[in-house]
Amino acid sequence: MQLYPKKKIEMVVEAARAPRLLEMIEAAGAKGYTVIPEVSGKGNRGLRNEAHISDVFRNVMIITITTEEIAERIVEESQRMLENFAGIVYVSDVSVVRDEHF
List of residues contacting a second copy (CB under 8 A): 1, 3, 6, 8, 10, 12, 22, 26, 31-44, 47, 53, 59, 61, 65, 72, 75-76, 79, 88-98, 100-102
Rounded CA separation 46/69 (Å): 26
Cβ atoms of 14 and 55 within 8 Å: the answer is no
Q: How far is the CB of 98 from a second copy (least distance, A)?
A: 7
Residue type, 87: G
Question: For a second copy, which is the closer residue by CB, 84 or 90?
Answer: 90
Shortest Cβ 44–a second copy spacing (Å): 4
Q: What's the DSSP call for residue 76?
A: H
CB of 46 to a second copy, least distance (A): 9
CB of 31 closer than 8 Å to CB of 96: no
